[in-house]
Amino acid sequence: MSDQKIALVTGGGTGIGRAAALALAGIGYTLVLAGRRQEPLDEAVAAIKKAGGKAIAVACNVGDPKQVDALFGKIKSEFGRLDLLFNNAGMGGAPSLLEDLPFERWQDVVNVNLNGVFLCTQAAFRIMKDQKPQGGRIINNGSISAHTPRPNSIAYTATKHAVTGITKTAALDGRKYDIAVGQIDIGNAESSMADKMKKGVPQPDGSIRPEATMALDHVGRAIAAMANLPLETNVLFMTIKATKMPFEGRG
């Protein structure tokens, strides 16, 4: 069996997922990048290989149980093990008044942000508990919204609060298999979802104000630091944010 360490990053083609994948490749992981769109996945794989790393891309909708089964089946057949899962795939959904949110949009967000995390965590458990050496690490992408909501974001906020419940439960249930489960809560990284922060976003007092952002590679380095720990040590929760982003206290 190869000594290579295998990491799966969902939503790995762009933004935080791509930054995490590049950082993980830099500390020796072989990457499996999953996402719904093949083109950005292929571009991320090319960037990893250009930097001297190893990676493959697998198109997958993490909210679809059959596609998740196929993804993890490919990992098991191709590599024989999985050492790290970064549950990163997610969607925000356009801001909407709570009373006007279409149920279909609610379902879309729940399917990716919550069902996807559950399905991938479950599949990772099945591989990690049976492999030798046993165990592995799972890192869930929470969000500042796992703590504090933004206005008009009930679907996103509800799912990110629920991810915290998955993290705590999986961390407890993973102990017997040497599976360490943690969560990184990210605030205003310079991804496409955060570009609007610089222009101004609604605040709880009804005003529109720009917010500070941070570089994506800072997030990637934080995820790599969590991943690089031995399995007997776990970062259960890490919050990483732009220093001047309004979060602490009253703003």
Mean pLDDT over 58-70 rounds to 98
Q: What is the pLDDT of residue 194?
A: 63
- Across the range 94-105, mean pLDDT stands at 94
DSSP-assigned letters across all residues of 141-161:
E--GGGTSPPTT-HHHHHHHH
- Span 147-153, average pLDDT: 92
User: How many other CB atoms are there within 10 angstroms of residue 240's CB atom?
Assistant: 17
Task: Compute the distance between CA of residue 36 and CA of residue 194 in angstroms, rounded to an integer.
Answer: 20
pLDDT at residue 201, as a whole number: 84
Does residue 205 sit in helix, strand or coil? coil
Q: What residues are labeled active site? A: 156
Q: How confident is the model at residue 191 (pLDDT cuts 50, 70, 90)?
A: confident
Can you say whether residue 20 is alpha, beta or left, with left for phi > 0 and alpha for psi between -120 and 50 degrees?
alpha
Full set of structural domains in the chain with CATH: 5-241 (3.40.50.720)
| Burial group, residue 108, by CB count within 10 angstroms (0-12, 13-18, 19+) | middle
Return d(Cα 240, Cα 243) in angstroms, integer: 9
> In this model, does residue 83 exceed pLDDT 90?
yes
Name the band, by pLDDT with cuts 50, 70 and 90, for residue 1. Answer: very low
How far is it, in rounded angstroms, from Cα 80 to Cα 226?
23
pLDDT at 238 over 50: yes
Average pLDDT of every residue of the chain: 94
Chain-centroid distance of CA 131 in Å reads: 23
Is the pLDDT at 110 greater than 70? The verdict is: yes
Q: Inform me whether the pLDDT recorded for 93 exceeds 90.
A: no
Task: Measure Cα distances from 51 to 14, 44, 45 in Å.
Answer: 16, 11, 10
Least confident of 127-131, 143-147, 154-158, 207-211: 207-211
Q: For residue 195, what pLDDT band results from cuts at 50, 70 and 90?
A: low
Confidence of residue 239 (pLDDT cuts 50, 70, 90): very high
DSSP-based three-state secondary structure for 82: coil
| Residue spans of alpha helices (H) in 89-152 | 103-110, 116-130
pLDDT attached to residue 3:
78
